[in-house]
Amino acid sequence: MTKEKSDNSLTEKDVSFDDLPKRKRLLNPKQSQKIGYSMLLSSIIFIVIVLGVFLGYIIINGLKSINFKFIFSSYNPTVGRYGLFPSIMGTFLLIIGSIAIAAPLGLLAAIYLTEYTKGGIIVSIIDQGINNLAGVPSVVIGVFGYALFSVYLKMGSSMIAAWLTLACMLLPTIIRTSQEALRSVPRTYREGSFALGATKWRTIRYVVLPPALPGITTGIILSLGRAAGETAAVLFVGSGVFFNRFFNGFSGTFMNLPNFLLTLYRSAGGWEQVGDVMWLTAFVLILIVFSFNAVAIVIRNRSEKQRGSY
Amino acid sequence: MNIVNKKLLAKETKEEDIVPVDMRALFKDETEIIPEKLVKKYEIRMAVKKLSHWYGNNHVLSGISLPIFKNKVTAIIGPSGCGKSTFLRDLNRMNDLIKISRVRGKVYLDGINIYSEGIDLIQLRKKIGMVFQKPNPFPMSIRDNITYGPIIHGINKAYLPGLIKSYLVKAALWDEVHDRLSESAFSLSGGQQQRLCIARALSIEPEVILFDEPCSALDPHATAKIEDLITKLKAEYTVVIVTHNMQQAARVSDFTAFFNLGELIEFNSTRDLFRSPIRKITEEYISGRFG
Ligand SMILES: Nc1ncnc2c1ncn2[C@@H]1O[C@H](COP(=O)(O)OP(=O)(O)OP(=O)(O)O)[C@@H](O)[C@H]1O
Ligand SMILES: [Mg+2]
């Protein structure tokens, strides 16, 4: 008050709020609220129906054509055996290996970027680069992985090359989601910890990471699905077919469910012959993704419960 | 050489960053604002000398010199934005976390300038605890909030249960939480959370405790509890408290510093400052006519 007089011109004449001219509107606030709400409601209903039909269709058709002998046998079309097990095993190993590489690496990178850098041009270039990488089509990653791992580093067509290629594909997303999770932890937690004489690392480990964990897990869950379903990126680096065996070694080619579907689709048989098998394969793929997600969610919830519900 | 704190002292510490542990001499040329009789009478625990602070180009503190007397409560008052929190956070180098912040001047503790090179921030913050404006318990159990600090500073696990009780008792929270120590700290009310944060600050046995408007988010009842606590704390600790509330400053503090626009305008015993302020602007502020 002592510093400067306010120069708010409205106060001169003392206009009352109700006397001020009102602007015209198409809808009154209540009407637009109603419309907004019904749009939200109808879109969620639409989504639930589509999702329900989609999943229901796969599950019903998958269960209809379920055939354990088929699921647990190896592959050899020359004798008419389209066994699924090599592909199930390949998918499993692809998920586990690529996540095992990408998750810790991505988390550490995210911690470094959010907690140890203080902005600046280089960091924002890296940040922007990560954003762009997250949007690169997987087939391009596949070409890159083929050139780098299979050819240049001489890994050939192998499970290991596929792990590394998939990890490259997943890293940007894991880094991005982990960064978001870390950033959402209030600065006041960190300050409280530093004020007690904690080092940066201890603060991150005990105060910042636990509340960020659910967000980080969500990023990993999203990645699990992508690793399981990836077709193009692994096509270049070792996805293939082999006969009469479940597993071809880590430095050999592998089969996985998405590419198995592709093989079936391209096979001479046509829908009449392979339709059932394709349903079942899709069903098993979804089952695997869901069970991995379930495990991740259980781990997340348990770690939350251990710390109480914060 | 004088007795200086070996733990804080680093190899790189320069001669100019070390002063006699009796810091009175530092205020010989500051008698215009810092009354000589106070400096003569009371023991100084921390001494701030010509402290200036910038956020980028924004000059928020200029040339603050202030003694912090031992086992007393010093209140920092002043209008919003005058730099009270910045000043307080300079006392334990919390502002180091802010990239654009720049400090010039000296803050002495145990005969060493805490801004000299190579100061061990862990030891510094062990000696100077802090309680923030908004309660900020960690997302852990009540128990873990208290043991976090002692664990950092290497206390043997076997002694932790005893510590938990003693600090919760000191923070006047034990009776309310003794049967729910494993619950989340967020299950406490705002006032309880703030007392938990006080217990947490006590848990590392600091010598000085900084409070930044610790009651601004609390109701009168919770405020009264915390004020009561602060007046009790000064038997063992040296306390600096930032507050917006003039009555609170009058109730809890022994000395008051009035800041305006980044300068220390007046410093005196709380009684004298409220009863007979020397500067006109101080009088206007404490009588509520400006601020
Ligand atoms: N992190 C920061 N970055 C940049 N400027 C800041 C920062 N913190 C504070 N400032 C600026 O420094 C000045 C003093 O802020 P400070 O928080 O110390 O004031 P205060 O006296 O504590 O105010 P209040 O009573 O409202 O808490 C303000 O102008 C503020 O805008
Ligand atoms: Mg403040």
Write the single-letter amino acid at A235.
Answer: L
Nearest ligand to residue B60 Cα: 1
Higher pLDDT, B270 or A23: B270
Can you tell me the mean pLDDT for A146-165?
94
Would the pLDDT of A283 be above 70? Answer: yes
Measured between CA atoms, the residue of chain B closest to residue A120 is: B99
Percent of chain B with pLDDT over 90: 70
* pLDDT score recorded for residue A3: 45
- For chain A, the C-alpha Rg in angstroms (whole number) is 27
B202-253 pLDDT, tens digit per residue, is: 999 999 999 999 988 788 888 898 899 899 998 999 999 999 889 999 999 9
Give the closest residue (by CA) to ligand 1 atom 29.
B81
CATH topology of domain A85-308: MetI-like fold (1.10.3720)
Position A307 scores a pLDDT of: 58
Q: What pLDDT digit, counting tens, does each position of B86-113 carry?
A: 999 999 999 998 889 999 999 999 888 9
Residue nearest to atom 10 of ligand 1 (CA): B55
Whether the CB of B182 is below 8 Å from some CB of chain A: the reply is yes
Q: Report in angstroms the alpha-carbon separations of B23 from A54, B68, B278.
A: 78, 10, 25
> Using N-to-C axis directions, what is the helix angle for A209-229 and A159-183, rounded to 10°?
150
pLDDT digits (tens, 9 = 90+) for B18-34: 777 678 888 988 888 99
Tokens 């690793």 correspond to A227
**Partner A contacted by B204 (CB < 8 A):** yes
- From chain B, pick out residues whose CB is under 8 angstroms from the CB of A310: 139, 184, 186
Given this model, what pLDDT does residue A28 score? 86
Of residues B80, B96, B10, B73, the one with CA closest to residue B231: B73
- Would the pLDDT of B10 be above 70? no
User: Cα-flanking dihedrals φ and ψ of residue B157, to 5°?
Assistant: -55, -30
**With an 8 Å Cβ cutoff, are A310 and B184 in contact?**
yes
CB B196 within 8 A of CB B181: no
Using the predicted structure, report yes or no on whether residue A2 has a pLDDT greater than 50: no
Instruction: Determine how many CB atoms are found less than 10 A away from the CB of residue B58.
Output: 10
A189:B132 CB<8 A: no
Q: Does residue A1 carry a pLDDT above 90?
A: no
Give the percent of chain A with pLDDT over 70. Answer: 94
Q: Report the pLDDT value the prediction gives residue B58, as an integer from 0 to 100.
A: 95
Chain A residues near residue B99 by CB distance under 8 angstroms: 118-119
Report the separation in Å between the CA atom of B52 and the middle of ligand 1, taken as the mean of its atom positions.
14
- A308/B182 Cβ within 8 A: yes
Confidence of residue A118 (pLDDT cuts 50, 70, 90): confident
Name the strand (E) or helix (H) holding B174: helix B174-177
Q: How many contacts does A have with B, using Cβ atoms within 8 A?
A: 83
Q: Which one-letter DSSP state was computed for residue A254? A: B
Of A10-24, A96-110, A257-271, highest mean pLDDT: A96-110
Go through the domains of chain B in sequence order and give each one's CATH number: 3-286 (3.40.50.300)
Residue-wise DSSP of B208-255: EEEEESTTTTS-HHHHHHHHHHHHHHTTTSEEEEE-S-HHHHHHH-SE
Ligand 1 atom with minimal separation from the B86 CA: 18
| Total residues belonging to chain A | 310
Task: For residue A310, name the pLDDT band (cuts at 50, 70, 90).
Answer: very low
Put simply, the answer to whether A196 touches B284 (Cβ < 8 Å) is no
Contact B239, B72 (CB under 8 A): yes
| pLDDT of the residue at B11 | 64
As given in the structure block, the two tokens for residue B19 are 């002063």
Residue among A118, A188, A210 minimizing CB distance to B136 = A188
B137: contact with A, CB 8 A cutoff: yes
Pick from B109, B152, B186, B281 the residue to mutate for testing the A interface (most A CBs within 10 Å).
Answer: B152
The chain A residue lying nearest B197, using CA atoms, is A192
Nearest C-alpha in B relative to A3: B290
Q: Which of B60, B130, B241 to probe ligand 1 with, by most ligand atoms within 8 A of CB?
A: B60
Residue to mutate among A193, A196, A200, with most B CBs inside 10 A, is A196
| Predicted ipTM of the assembly | 0.91
Protein residue with least CA distance to atom 30, ligand 1 = B81
**pLDDT score for B1:** 36
| Residue of chain A whose Cα is closest to the Cα of B95 | A191
Average pLDDT over residues A268-293: 87
CB hemisphere CA count around A175 (13 angstroms): 25
- In chain A, what percentage of residues exceed pLDDT 90? 54
Nearest CA to ligand 1 atom 18: B83
- B4 pLDDT tier (thresholds 50, 70, 90): low
Which residues, 6 or more positions from B250, have their beta carbon under 8 angstroms from its beta carbon?
B270, B274
Ligand 2 center to B260 CA (angstroms) = 13
CA B81 – ligand 1 centroid, Å: 5
Q: Does any CB of chain A come closer than 8 Å to the CB of residue B92?
A: yes
Note the pLDDT of residue B124: 94
| Nearest neighbour of A192 by CB, restricted to B132, B183, B186 | B132
Mean pLDDT score of chain B, rounded to an integer?
90
Q: Is B153 on the interface with A (CB under 8 A)?
A: yes
The residue extents of the domains of chain A are: 85-308
The stretch A222-232 carries a mean pLDDT of 90
Query: What is the C-alpha end-to-end distance of chain A, expressed in Å?
Result: 43
Q: What is the mean pLDDT of residues B48-69?
A: 95
